[in-house]
Structure 1
Amino acid sequence: MTTLPLTHARFRILETIRIPIAVIGGAFFPAASMLFFVVPFAGDDPVGATFATASMVMFAVMTSCLFNYGVGVAEDRAQPWDPYTRTLPAGPAAAFAGRILSGMTFMTISLLPVVIIGWLFTAATVSWTGLLLAVGAVVLGALPFTFMGLAIGYALPMKAALAVAQIIFFPMAFGGGLLSAPGQAPGFVETIAPYLPTRGAVELVWAAVGNFDVDPKSMISLAVWTIVMAALAAWAFRRDEGARFN
């Protein structure tokens, strides 16, 4: 039974990498942002480059979760293979676990170029302990966006899911302060940022890699967003299950 999720994950990974642009596209925008904005403007400042790289990592994670899960789930629901696998005796759990594993794989692929660019072309620095803490922070920070993507994918058809994911990701990034240094965002951004999940997520990574004290409001907001998005994803999944299989 434990091999079934791995089989589903392998199937989804192979299906995606057969269209290379689907993989390249997910990693391009965060990497391009690093090259055009972080390297020229903050590359020589160890502190600024470290925080900026952390921000771009979370930007890559958010984008990957919204599109891989949101658009990916909606697209799969429109194909005959997905309804078939959900009627098999093994049930939907193995396929769902495989989807999560494949999503984590492509999330890692999308953030690796950001880390490599930060390592090679900026003065960003982090200890091994900080790096391990940052990995844990990224996993925690990815949760609300994973649930958000699943909710979008199970609730909407593909064209609508694509539009909603596109509408959400940039305001979330800008409003959460991912596109500016800590404490240097425009005033209205600093006002709304603690109430968006992007801010709480990136503050966890900032605290892991540098000397940054997280805002309790951001942590509470991150927890609330995670719980609400998890509930919404569960509702969307059960709604889709009831509409198509009962």
Structure 2
Amino acid sequence: MMSRILHSFVLETGAELLKALRAPEFIFPTLGMPVAFYSLFAIMIPGSSNNPDYLLATYGVFAVMGPAIFGFGISVANERDKGWLDLKLAAPSLGFSYIAAKVCSTLLFSSLSLVIIYLVAGFAAGVVLPQPTWALLLTTHILATFPFILIGLIIGFIFNANAAIAISNVIFLAFAALGGLWIPIMLFPQSMQSFAHFLPTFHLSEIALYVLGAPGERDLNYHILIIAIMSLVLLAATAFAWSKQRNH
């Protein structure tokens, strides 16, 4: 039984990677947009000497958000519309392999996007960090992928392909802009600063900034607790959407 699941997982993962490689319209924006934005704001118009370090933490969250939301939201919705998901669900033991393969593919592209930004930060932006800090920051950014994976799954299980594209774009841009990934939220009006506390991007970027040792007071336990609660709520919503899909 385990060998069958493993074999199914390997085949699904290979198919996911092959599908991604055949879609340059997904790869280039996913890998190129975060590093382009980081290079613009951290190198070309730095503004202050702290910008490259600060933006490394926030744009790392931005880098992992795209592959998760678009890779799941639009991809799953497309497969639902074409009937592929129904076919996969009809086959025994493939449900786990289907989700696990997409998670594996998403983590791979997220990690690749992070490596590109880290290389630019270290060699072009002059960011110097101890090796343990680099490793902890990378771990933090990779773990930040999972709440967005759940959001992507919810979108993919509920909406059709056309709606999923629009909703994924709105969520992606809103989370990035209002969560403080592009502009520090201390520059926002007070009402927008309060609203940011309801977004996972704000809390994940604050955790990354804490790991980086960026200036400012941050309650790490508070941010971790909020992310844990948000993740549990998203997991419950994903499970509900998955059950509705299976019973469809």
What is the TM-score normalised by the length of structure 1?
A: 0.89
Aligned to 1:24: 28
Measured after TM superposition, the shift of residue 155 of structure 1 is 0.9
2:91 to 71, 88, 92: 88
How far 1:237 moved relative to its partner?
A: 0.9
**Please, which moves more after superposition, 112-121 or 4-13?**
112-121
What's the CA shift for 1:67? 0.6
The offset of 1:164, in angstroms, is 0.6
Distance apart, 1:52 and its partner CA: 0.5
CA contact (8 A) 2:110 2:142 kept: no
Distance apart, 1:184 and its partner CA = 4.3
Aligned to 1:227, which of 232, 244, 247?
232
Select the residue among 200, 207, 219 that pairs with 2:210: 207
1:126 to 129, 134, 137: 129
How far is 1:185 from its partner? 4.4
Shift in alpha-carbon separation, 1:193–1:217, aligned structure 2, 3 A: farther
Structure 1 residues 182 and 53: CA distance shift in structure 2, 3 A: farther
Structure 2 equivalent of residue 197 of structure 1: 200
Moved more, 219-228 or 95-104: 219-228
Structure 1 residue aligned with 2:144? 141
Q: Write the deviation string for residues 192-233 of structure 1: whole angstroms up to 9, x where unpaired.
A: 222311111111111122245533543333222111111111
Counterpart check, 1:165 vs 2:168: yes
Contact preservation (8 Å) 1:52, 1:181: no
Q: For the structure 1 residues 112 and 139, does the alpha-carbon distance in structure 2 shift closer, same or farther, using more than 3 Å as the test? A: closer
Quick one: which amino acid aligns to residue 22 of structure 2? R
The CA deviation at 1:120 is 2.3
Given candidates 7, 12, 25, the residue that maps to 2:16 is 12
Aligned length: 242
Contact 1:72 1:153 in 2 (8 A): yes
CA displacement at 1:23 relative to structure 2: 0.8
5+ residue gaps, structure 2, are: none
Aligned pairs for 1:28-39 (under 5 A) are 28-39=32-43
CA distance in 1, matches of 2:247, 2:77: 16
* Native 8 Å contact 1:65 1:103 kept in 2: yes
Q: Deviations over 1:155-202 (max 9, x none)?
A: 111111111111111121122111124744444333222231111111
Partner SS state of residue 127, structure 2: coil
Give the corresponding residue for 1:241: 246
2:45 to 19, 32, 41: 41
Runs of at least 5 residues in structure 1 that lack an aligned partner in the other structure:
none
- Aligned residues: CA RMSD: 2.1
Q: Give, in whole Å, the separation in 2 of the partners of 1:232 and 1:15.
A: 27
- Between the two proteins, what is the percent identity of the paired residues? 22
Shift of 1:79: 2.7
CA distance in 2, matches of 1:109, 1:232: 29
Q: Distance in 2 between matches of 1:116 and 1:160?
A: 36
Structure 1 residue aligned with 2:101: 98
1: CA distance between counterparts of 2:46 and 2:184? Answer: 10
**With structure 2 as the length reference, what TM-score do the two structures score?**
0.88
Alignment match, 2:71: 68
**Contact in 2 for aligned 1:43/1:123 (Cα 8 Å):** no
Secondary structure of 2:90's counterpart equals coil
